[in-house]
Amino acid sequence: MERISWNQYFMSQSHLLALRSTCERLAVGATIVREKRVIAGGYNGSVSGSVHCIDDGCKIIDGHCVRTIHAEVNAILQCAKFGVPTKGAEMYVTHFPCLNCCKTIIQSGIKKLFYATDYKNHPYALELFEDAGVEIQQVEVNYLNIDTKTKDKYYFISSLLHKLEENGVEEQEVKRLKEEASSLFTSLE
């Protein structure tokens, strides 16, 4: 058996973290690494102790969910909370960071950013990373068979089944469809 590369290994960690996301719009995970050791991880979700988007819906202002803290920021804040320095570290994130996360990454002293998926890559973010000397590299995870959209699919199917009930589809048929859908998913808790 051939071992996966360090980049694949750490990116896998980020994809695993993304499965804890409480965001309805996009599940993102981030892993911070120094000297080939994980020092922090984060996923996008609400402030600790607050209501989650998956429970109460997103709080959208100007096209953005203001309830969610991005995965990159959560990982950096975890370092701050426990006194772990980020200067010179590397970050692995499932999606290209937004502009604000880009600035946070630079300010934290992270020197290498690895991302799996392009996502609204802002030209100014690229410029800022270049000016700050942050190395950027895309890491494909083609060997990994983790469906990061599982929760999205689950909630979509649940919504459809609920609409069928509301629109008077026979109770027995809805029950059968629920059982079939349930057998497709493992527990998401």
Any idea which residues carry the catalytic annotation? Answer: 72
Label residue 179 exposed, middle or buried (CB < 10 Å: 0-12, 13-18, 19+). Answer: exposed
> Is-contact 151 27, C-beta < 8 A?
yes
> Is-contact 33 90, C-beta < 8 A?
yes
